[in-house]
Amino acid sequence: MDQVLPIALISVLLGTAFALIFFKNYFLKRKSEIGSIAKPEIHPDPLRKPPKPTHQSKKSHSHASSDKDHNKKHHPLDLNTLKGHGDSVTGLCFSYDGRSLATACADGVVRVFKLDDASSKSFKFLRINVPAGGHPVAVAFSDDASSVVLASHTLSGSSLYMWGEEKVKDSNDSKQQPKLPLPEIKWEHHKIHEKKVVLTLVGTASTYGNGDGSTIVASCSEGTDIKIWHGKTGKNLGTVDTNQLKNTMAAISPNGRFIAAAAFTADVKVWEIVYSKDGSVKEVPKVMQLKGHRSAVTWLCFTPDSEQIITASKDGSIRIWNINVRYHLDEDPKTLKVFPIPLHDSNGGTLHYDRLSLSPDGRILVATHGSMLQWLCVETGKVLDTADRAHDGDITWIAWAPKPIPTGDGQTSILATASVDKKVKLWAAPPLRSA
C-alpha cells in the first residue's frame, strides 16, 4: 500500500509534465502562425497600388473648380443676368424710355424690372401674377412703364390682359411716403384667336399721319390672322389675314404706320394702318408684298425710320427692302441689299436665323439660332461678334432698349435676350469695325 502511493504520485507528475510540454509547443507554433499572418499587414504587398484618397480628392476638386470657373466665364459683351424666373422666359419688352424691362415667364408671373443701372448686382422688380390656369407667352408695354399688356394661353384659347396702375395722390403728410398701388387688370379679352396660340405681341406709338400717339398692339396667332388693339382701352382696331397656311410672326413699324408678317411662304405681306382725323384707326388695307426670297421668311424687323424692312429666310440670305414707295401708283418695294447668312453647320450647309432685332441707331443687326447670338453690321453684312452659347438653352426673344441705359459711370446700348434656361441677359453693343 505504501509503495502504490509513490508510484501514483510519480505518474501524475510525469503526466502533468508531458501535458505542459505539449501545450507549450502548441502555443509556440500558434504564435508563429499568427505572426506570419500579421506580417503582410505591416508591410503592404508591393504589387497592390497604394491608396491615394487625399491626393485623388484634391485632383477631383481641382477639375470641378476648373469646370465651374469655365462655366462662369462670360462673353465680353455679356453685361448682366436677370435671375429669379421659375421657368422658361417666353417673352420680354422694354418700355419707351428703356428704364423698365417686362418679362413673361412660364411660371405664371410677369416681372417688370427697373434698370437704373444695367451693371447692378441686383434689380428691383414688380411681380404680377397671371390669372390661374394661364401660361404667359408674350408681353408688351402700353402707354407707359406702368401699363403692361400680356398674352396668355389656356386650353380654351388665348387671352389678352392689360395691367395698369392708378396715379398716386399727393398726401398732406410729407413725412409719410404714399404706398405705390399694385397694378390691376384694366381690360381683358378671351379667345382672341379662337383656340390658337399667340406667337408674337408687339406694340408701338401711333405717331404717323393723324395718329394720336397712343399705343397700338398687334397680336399674331399661329393661324393666319393678326389683330390690332388699342393699348389703353383694349378696343379691337382691325384684323388682317395672311392667307398663308400659318403665321410665323408679325411686326409693327416704329411710327405705327405698317404691319408686316412672315408666314409659311417666301413672300412678306405689308398692310398700312390708316388713321382718321380724330386719331382713330380707319382701316388696315394690304398695300404691298415683298417678293424675292426663294424659301420661307423666318423673321423680319423694321428700321428705326420705318422706311425699310430687313428679312431673314431659309434660303440662306438676308434682304434689306425699301418700302418707302408710291404703292398707290403700283410702285413695288425694292431690294436694296442681299447678304448671305454667315452661319453654317458642320457639313458646310447654311443655317437660318430664328430671330432678328435692329439697334435703335439702325447700324447693328442681332440674329439668333438656337442658343447662339450674333451681331452683324447692317452696312456690310459682316459679323461683328458671336456668342456661340449665349444661353444654356434656346433663345426665345430678343429686344434692344430704345435708349442707352446707365452702366456704372457711362451709358450703353443694351440688348436683352430671354431663354428657356430661366434667365434674361443684358448685352452691350459691340464696336463697329470697318469692313
Amino acid at 188: E
Q: What is the DSSP string of 40-96?
A: HHHS--TTSPPP-HHHHHHHHHHHHHHHHHHHHPPPTTEEEEE---SS-EEEEEE-T
Asked whether the beta carbons of 203 and 149 are under 8 A apart, the reply is yes
The pLDDT of residue 346 is 85
* Domain assignment of residue 412, yes or no: no
- Residue 373 and residue 325: Cα distance in Å, rounded? 33
* Domain assignment of residue 19, yes or no: no
| CATH number, domain with residue 275 | 2.130.10.10
Whether 107 has a pLDDT exceeding 50, the answer reads yes
Radius of gyration of the chain (CA): 37
Asked whether the beta carbons of 417 and 432 are under 8 A apart, the reply is no
A 10 A CB-CB count for 411 gives 13
The pLDDT of residue 11 is 63
* Domain assignment of residue 390, yes or no: no
- Residue 143 and residue 95: Cα distance in Å, rounded? 9
The pLDDT of residue 31 is 43
Predicted confidence band at 183 (pLDDT cuts at 50, 70, 90)?
A: confident
pLDDT in tens, 113-135: 999 999 998 999 999 999 988 99
Domain that residue 192 falls in: 78-164+181-347
Predicted confidence band at 178 (pLDDT cuts at 50, 70, 90)?
A: low
pLDDT in tens, 202-246: 999 999 999 999 999 999 999 999 999 999 999 999 999 999 999
Whether 281 has a pLDDT exceeding 80, the answer reads yes
Q: How many domains does the chain divide into? A: 1
Predicted confidence band at 65 (pLDDT cuts at 50, 70, 90)?
A: very low
- Residue 15 and residue 23: Cα distance in Å, rounded? 12
Q: What is the mean pLDDT of the chain?
A: 85
The pLDDT of residue 196 is 96
* Domain assignment of residue 364, yes or no: no
**Average pLDDT of the segment spanning 5-12:** 60
Which residue did the predictor score with more confidence, 182 or 117?
Answer: 117
Asked whether the beta carbons of 229 and 237 are under 8 A apart, the reply is yes
* Domain assignment of residue 196, yes or no: yes
The pLDDT of residue 56 is 41
Asked whether the beta carbons of 305 and 261 are under 8 A apart, the reply is no
Amino acid at 52: K
pLDDT in tens, 136-159: 999 999 988 889 999 999 999 999
pLDDT in tens, 301-348: 999 999 999 999 999 999 999 999 999 888 999 999 999 999 988 888
Amino acid at 22: F
Which residue did the predictor score with more confidence, 245 or 67?
Answer: 245
The pLDDT of residue 93 is 97
What percentage of the chain carries pLDDT values higher than 90? 72
Whether 403 has a pLDDT exceeding 90, the answer reads yes
- Residue 144 and residue 14: Cα distance in Å, rounded? 118
Predicted confidence band at 47 (pLDDT cuts at 50, 70, 90)?
A: very low
Phi first, then psi: give them for residue 317, nearest 5 degrees.
-130, 160
The pLDDT of residue 77 is 96
The three cell numbers locating residue 389: 452659347
Whether 42 has a pLDDT exceeding 60, the answer reads no
Asked whether the beta carbons of 298 and 247 are under 8 A apart, the reply is no
Which residue did the predictor score with more confidence, 63 or 364?
Answer: 364
What percentage of the chain carries pLDDT values higher than 70? 79
* Domain assignment of residue 365, yes or no: no
CA 334 to chain centre: 34
The pLDDT of residue 347 is 87
The three cell numbers locating residue 363: 447700324
Which residue did the predictor score with more confidence, 171 or 430?
Answer: 430
Which residue did the predictor score with more confidence, 87 or 68?
Answer: 87
Q: What's the predicted TM-score (pTM) here?
A: 0.80
Asked whether the beta carbons of 214 and 143 are under 8 A apart, the reply is yes
* Domain assignment of residue 426, yes or no: no
- Residue 116 and residue 124: Cα distance in Å, rounded? 9
* Domain assignment of residue 291, yes or no: yes
Which residue did the predictor score with more confidence, 17 or 2?
Answer: 17
